[in-house]
Amino acid sequence: MNLAIVTNTQPHHKYFVSEMAHRFNVALIIHPTDKGSFRQRLPKITHYGLLHAKLKIAGLIYQKLVKHSYANQLKKEEKHITDEMISDYNNLPASAIHYMPTVNSTEAINMIKANEIDVICFLGGDLAKQPFIDSAKICSLNFHSGISPIYNGHKSTFHAVKDGRPNLCGGTLMYISSRVDGGDILAQHFTEITANDSAASLFMKGIAGAVALYTTFINHIQTNGCPPAVVQERTIHFTRNADWTLADDLKLHHFEKSGRMKIYERPAKNVLYYTQPSITIHDIVKQISEITLSKKDMRHKI
């Protein structure tokens, strides 16, 4: 089975590619490069008005200058990814790695077909349109670093922790669709939580969860074909990049310093919804509510 991976180029993205290449034949890696010009991004920054834009810009400065900002914490967590851990990425032939503005180009679609790609696997990367999604011989998949449909969109892990809900950290494997994080749900990974975790460390644990879910599902479809998935009727909480401001940085730091992470300690858990016949999105939300009970919730339940 030939895989194509669409992702970005940070160490955790290369770690993901490396782990997938260790398990499957990764014939093609596409790194989208078009992030848009400043002029194109400016309307998104000002989406909620001038005051919000000022808080957004203050947040960007905070990310650069403050040691405990989530961006700097994420860089610190990524230092645990050694060269040995991404050795498979470094050993991939240069001809397999392609940088292009977007996957939604004729060039990208032709590349998928020329390499006879069976499955396309997304981890971030780009917003795919239907022609690219349909170019894979078997299916196109996406891992969203958030528990859908509770948290969809940008920085889901960080928003969950900022909201005081680290128990809603994890990720969702889905058939990708042109709607952002709105594809049909196949499985979910609920990250391990310890008292010493931060939003950044939970995010990194989620990348390992992505590898685990992709591995299990791709092994499944090699012998069983593609199963039906659960339709997301609507997103409960959707966030854009413009939504995160200095106020969110301060809320996140307050929670991480509060010591309340220990209330949510748990082992990691994978839930394969595609093995559960006739399950609906309402059943998934109910299961999520049971899986994500905190120690405090459990005492009240008893």
* pLDDT tens over the chain, length 302 residues: 999 999 999 999 999 999 999 999 999 999 999 875 445 455 677 778 889 999 999 999 999 999 999 999 999 999 999 888 999 999 999 999 999 999 999 999 999 999 999 999 999 888 999 999 999 999 999 999 999 999 999 999 999 999 999 999 999 999 999 899 999 999 999 999 999 999 999 999 999 999 999 999 999 999 999 999 999 988 999 999 889 999 999 999 999 999 999 999 999 999 999 999 899 999 999 999 999 987 666 554 54
Supply the Cα-derived Rg of the chain in whole angstroms.
Answer: 19
DSSP per-residue string spanning 68-89: TSHHHHHHHHHTTS-TTTTHHH
From CA 61, how far away is CA 57, in angstroms rounded?
6
> Cβ distance 174 to 186 under 8 Å?
yes
Residue 234's pLDDT is 87
For domain 2-301, give its CATH number from 3.40.50.1860, 3.40.50.2000, 3.40.50.170, 3.30.70.20.
3.40.50.170
- Angle at Cα 191 formed by Cα 20 and Cα 142, nearest 5°? 45
pTM value is 0.93
> Cβ distance 111 to 28 under 8 Å?
yes
The angle, 0 to 180 degrees and rounded to 10, between the axes of the packed helices 70-78 and 50-65 is 40
From CA 33, how far away is CA 52, in angstroms rounded?
28
Residue 48's pLDDT is 85
Hey, what amino acid is at 136? A
* Residue 47, burial from CB neighbour count under 10 angstroms (0-12, 13-18, 19+): middle
Hey, what amino acid is at 267? P
Domain ranges of the chain: 2-301
> Cβ distance 190 to 292 under 8 Å?
yes
Residue 121's pLDDT is 98
> Cβ distance 230 to 281 under 8 Å?
yes
Residue 302's pLDDT is 41
From CA 265, how far away is CA 191, in angstroms rounded?
10
From CA 302, how far away is CA 296, in angstroms rounded?
10
> Cβ distance 163 to 254 under 8 Å?
no
